[in-house]
Amino acid sequence: MGKKQEQKKKTLKIKIILFLVICAIVLVTLPFSGLIENKINSKRTENIGDFATLIEKDCVVHVIDVGCADCIALELPDGKKGLVDGGVYISSKVKSTYQQNSVNYIKQYVFDGNENGTFDFVVMTHPDADHYNNYELIFDTFQINKVYRPPVFYNKDDDAQTQKEIQRAKDAGLMDGSETAFDENTFYTIDTKLFSKCLDKMYSEPGCEIVFTLAPTTADIVSSDALKPYTIRFYGPRHTCYPTKSYNNNNSFSALMTLEYKGHSIMLTGDTTKEEEKDVMDACDLPEVDVLKVAHHGSNTSSSVAFLNKIKPKYALISTRTDTNKYNLPKQEIIDRIISCGVSEDNILQTQKSGNLVFAIDSDDMYIGATTEVVVKTIKWWYVCAGVIVASGAFIFGVKIKTSKRK
Ligand SMILES: [Zn+2]
SS3 for the chain, per residue? CHHHHHHHHHHHHHHHHHHHHHHHHHHHHHHHHHHHHHHHCCCCECCHHHHHHHCCCCEEEEECCCCCCCCEEEECCCCCEEEECCCCCCCHHHHHHHHHHHHHHHHHHHCCCCCCCEECEEECCCCCHHHHCCHHHHHHHCEECEEEECCCEECCCCCHHHHHHHHHHHHCCCCCCCCCCCCCCCCCEECCHHHHHHHHHHHCCCCCEEEECCECCCCCEECCCCCCCEEEEEEECEHHHCCCCCCCCHHHHCCEEEEEECCEEEEECCCCCHHHHHHHHHHCCCCCCCEEECHHHHCCCCCCHHHHHHHCCCEEEECCCHHHCCCCCCCHHHHHHHHHCCCCHHHEEEHHHHCCEEEEECCCCCCEEEEECECCCCCCHHHHHHHHHHHHHHHHHHHHHHHHHHC
- Cα(84) to ligand 1 centroid in Å equals 12
CA of 177 relative to ligand 1 center, distance in Å: 34
Separation of 298 CA from ligand 1 center, angstroms? 10
353 or 235, higher pLDDT: 235
User: What percent of the chain shows pLDDT beyond 70?
Assistant: 90
If you measure from the C-alpha of residue 270 to the centroid of ligand 1, how many angstroms do you get, rounded to a whole number? 7
Q: What is the mean pLDDT of residues 47-57?
A: 71
pLDDT tens column, 56-91: 889 999 999 999 999 999 999 999 999 999 999 988
pLDDT band at 406 (very low <50, low <70, confident <90, very high): very low
Ligand 1 centroid – CA 14 distance (Å): 54
303 CA distance to ligand 1 middle (Å): 14
C-alpha of residue 130 to centroid of ligand 1, in Å: 5
For residue 380, pLDDT beyond 70: yes
Residue 400 reports pLDDT greater than 80: no
**Topology adopted by domain 42-152+188-372:** Metallo-beta-lactamase; Chain A (3.60.15)
Can you tell me the mean pLDDT for 365-385? 61
State the distance from the centre of ligand 1 to the C-alpha of 320, rounded, in angstroms.
Answer: 9
pLDDT score, position 403 = 47
Distance, CA 108 to ligand 1 centroid (Å)? 25
329 in Cβ contact with 350 (< 8 Å)? no
Rounded distance from Cα 254 to ligand 1 centre (Å)? 10
Quick check: 58 and 363 in contact, CB under 8 A?
yes
Percent residues over pLDDT 90 in the chain: 65
Among the ranges given (159-173, 194-208, 314-328, 380-394), the one the predictor scored with the smallest mean pLDDT: 314-328
The protein residues having their C-beta less than 5 angstroms from ligand 1 (an ion) are 130, 271
Instruction: Give the dihedral of Cα atoms 65, 67, 71, 74; nearest 10 deg.
Output: 20
Separation of CA 299 and ligand 1 centre (Å): 9
Angle, nearest 10°, between helix axes 193-203 and 160-171?
60
Ligand 1 center to 129 CA (angstroms): 8
For the chain, residues classed under CATH 3.60.15.10 are 42-152+188-372
pLDDT at 48: 40
Distance 330 CA to ligand 1 centre (A): 11
Distance (Å) from CA 91 to ligand 1 centroid: 13
Distance from the alpha carbon of residue 72 to the mean position of ligand 1, in angstroms: 12
pLDDT above 50: residue 9? yes
304: CB partners within 8 A, 6+ apart = 274, 277, 278
